[in-house]
Structure 1
């Protein structure tokens, strides 16, 4: 166990909680279950977690047999889930499903994070509805500080890259919105077409990419969960 002393109980629930309930551990596992294996990718999915604490949690999970460190030909390491780690998938998905269903949306939308939102969009983006050429889609959140206001998704040869500095390519579509509105769309709390009609989302650029936005953007894996709260 990490920050707190052992529960001192033989119950499997308490023993599992000693491994999983330390701060950041569950969301770290969420990132790994979403496919992140490299330290820097994990950091991008956990932008508010310090590198020191991330290293600490990875070591703890490795000692617990939940993950393993695998050396790469480049001399670095990747972190892979073990069989025990993979068995946590329905548990982590279940926690997210519960949160989407029962946590009041105003509480969810109080925790806005542009880096996490864009990283989630990047790994879920569907390239099929986009033209078979390089496409650059810029997201602009005017109310944020200049360093967090602009993001670019660059799609090329089936790969999607996320840039926080201008990649220098011609922008095919500019999406302008408040961070709250785009987060609400991503989480399925509001609809893209409704937000565009209401003037809260502005799309400027290639009409075909604009019309297909809902198809290539997709939504959070939890967006379809039936909500039980207002």
Structure 2
């Protein structure tokens, strides 16, 4: 494990960057907000990161109290990484960073990788309330745990239980939302996001 580098500045922003300022660290946090993840899954959803760098960042995050590593019970018996309470406190940091970065998105480049669940955090910024939401995109499905104080913020694939609301939207609408050109409620009102479900959250979205 490499020694932690430091800016050696008595400033809370500098201290925070001592922990999460290295390349890939915050994107690992983004992935672990989905709950426990195996190393192989993290590597698959972080295209471009080398195995050495990913392993190093995860060790640093363990050392700094941002993540832990544990072994799943049989029949899984695999090791998974997950965020600590301290690591989960980075959610609003990532949300603010994503909001700030909206103007930089522009058009998707041919070299840009994409995963459906990368749209999860931008969508949670535009949804209020609490409940389980299932989202269907052309790129794939994911689900959101709105208002969750503990555990996963989102997950890949269909919802693990009957969701409070299902959202269906196309790539153009999703791109407009994550680029800050439209918000979720406006897209629901004009029919670009279809909402189904009998939960209170679905009813609130349809009536907004």
Say whether the fold is shared (TM-score over 0.5).
yes
In the alignment, the residues of structure 2 paired with residue 65 and residue 23 of structure 1 have an alpha-carbon distance, to the nearest angstrom, of: 18
In the alignment, the residues of structure 1 paired with residue 114 and residue 180 of structure 2 have an alpha-carbon distance, to the nearest angstrom, of: 19
Shift of 1:24: 0.8
Aligned to 1:187: 178
SS in 1 for 2:70: strand
Aligned to 1:113: 112
In the alignment, the residues of structure 1 paired with residue 65 and residue 134 of structure 2 have an alpha-carbon distance, to the nearest angstrom, of: 36
Alignment of 1:126-205 (within 5 A): 127=134, 160=157, 184-185=175-176, 187=178
TM-score, length-normalised on structure 1? 0.51
C-alpha contact 1:43 1:49 (8 A) present in aligned 2:
yes
Match of 1:94 among 67, 87, 96: 96
Shift of 1:75: 2.5
CA change 1:188–1:122 in 2 (3 A) is: closer
Deviations 1:10-68 (A, max 9, x none): 33322221111000111111111233522233223312212221111100000001111
Unpaired runs of 5+ residues, structure 2, are 124-131, 142-155, 159-169, 183-190, 196-208
C-alpha contact 1:67 1:80 (8 A) present in aligned 2:
yes
In the alignment, the residues of structure 2 paired with residue 36 and residue 213 of structure 1 have an alpha-carbon distance, to the nearest angstrom, of: 33
CA change 1:22–1:72 in 2 (3 A) is: same
In the alignment, the residues of structure 1 paired with residue 36 and residue 192 of structure 2 have an alpha-carbon distance, to the nearest angstrom, of: 25
Aligned to 2:45: 45
Higher relative contact order (CA 8 A, sep 6+): 1
Shift of 1:215: 3.2
C-alpha contact 2:140 2:157 (8 A) present in aligned 1:
no
Computing the radius of gyration over CA atoms, which structure comes out larger, 1 or 2?
Answer: 1
Aligned to 2:193: 214
C-alpha contact 2:37 2:82 (8 A) present in aligned 1:
yes
TM-score, length-normalised on structure 2? 0.55
Unpaired runs of 5+ residues, structure 1, are 129-136, 140-150, 154-158, 162-174, 192-211, 217-230
